[in-house]
Amino acid sequence: MLQQTTVAAVIPYFERFLDAFPDVTALARAPQDRVMALWAGLGYYARARNLHACAQAVAENGGRFPDTVAGLLELPGIGPYTAAAIAAIAFGRPVVPVDGNVERVTARLFAMTDPLPGSRKAIARQAMTLNADKAAIARPSDFAQALFDLGAGVCTPRAPACVLCPWREACAGNRQGIAAILPRRAAKVARPVRHGVHFCMVDAAGGILLVRRPEKGLLGGMMGLPGPHWRDVAWPQAEALDHAPTAPRLRAKWRQVGQVKHVFTHFTLMVDVYAARISAFPNSLVGQDGLIHYGNDVDVALPTLMRKCVELARDSNIF
């Protein structure tokens, strides 16, 4: 949960998640919809799907986690950093997990001036030499966590407390007076803008029309409002309305109620939201192209983007 997400944001989700799934077996047995519902709002939903799949893999192995980096890497959703962190901290393997803190410590310690992200692999290779010491090899769990703490509390991104650092005399960045500006970063490329359209249809009883998104891709497996694919150019109204949910004898009067801006890691999404109110959903509509009629949107685990679209539609007073 902490990947790309702050501690403050994670705490309530973490507590609810552990209340629902106190151990790996409980998580493995849970339906994916239940897992996704408890994750809704945290973003990066592939994490939830991978966590669920990982729990199932561990449960199939009798509840035993692999205790090596190689074994951990075979589990869904576990990459090099997570595998090394688990291996070192939980199983005492003499490996160095490289997160942002360790990356920063390494770049400064060895005065590595090539900018990120291009230098990331070289920094990671250099970080693997940090535990070449008998004490570090003897206590890999403590050493890994000490590295994290050194980066988080002493070798901070801004104004590092070099005077307090136990490695200050060995630090090439400190000796050269450049520690504070390392690691360097390449100039940021402007985040591209993509465009989407979503349709919010509500009936007289407050029911809402939703669709389950494809398993792969952003917001994969989550419920959402129907609409065409996101693309790099804006959707003219006439073209957008060609993608509105339709069925025989359905007379929906769609109105564009505004636009939602949502920022993903690699792009900004601008969504035109259309809303319509009908008396009742015809049977010919529900089930078409995966469309699902829900009694209301309150009990559905909608991702933040879709929740913003629904709220915009409701605030428009069209309902």
- Residue range 272-310, pLDDT digits in tens: 999 999 999 888 888 877 888 888 776 688 999 999 999
Q: Which pTM value belongs to this model?
A: 0.76
Give 77's contacts (C-beta < 8 A, 6+ positions apart). Answer: 46, 47, 49, 50, 51, 53, 54
- Residue range 91-123, pLDDT digits in tens: 999 999 999 999 999 999 999 999 999 999 999
Give the pLDDT confidence score for residue 296 in this predicted structure: 78
What sign does the dihedral 213-215-216-217 (CA atoms) show?
A: positive
What average pLDDT does this structure show over 207-226? 91
Gap between the Cα atoms of 16 and 303, Å rounded: 17
Give the pLDDT confidence score for residue 287 in this predicted structure: 80
Domain 7-91 - what CATH class? Answer: mainly alpha
Q: Position of tokens 């090099």?
A: 80
- Residue range 153-196, pLDDT digits in tens: 999 999 999 999 999 999 999 999 999 999 999 998 899 999 99
Gap between the Cα atoms of 71 and 83, Å rounded: 8
Gap between the Cα atoms of 47 and 3, Å rounded: 9
Q: Where are the alpha helices (DSSP H) in the chain?
A: 7-20, 24-29, 32-39, 46-60, 69-73, 80-91, 100-109, 120-127, 134-138, 140-153, 172-175, 237-241, 304-315
Domain ranges in the chain?
7-91, 193-315
Note the CATH number of domain 193-315. 3.90.79.10
Gap between the Cα atoms of 24 and 121, Å rounded: 33
Give 57's contacts (C-beta < 8 A, 6+ positions apart). Answer: 75, 76
Which pLDDT band holds residue 54 (cuts at 50, 70, 90)? very high
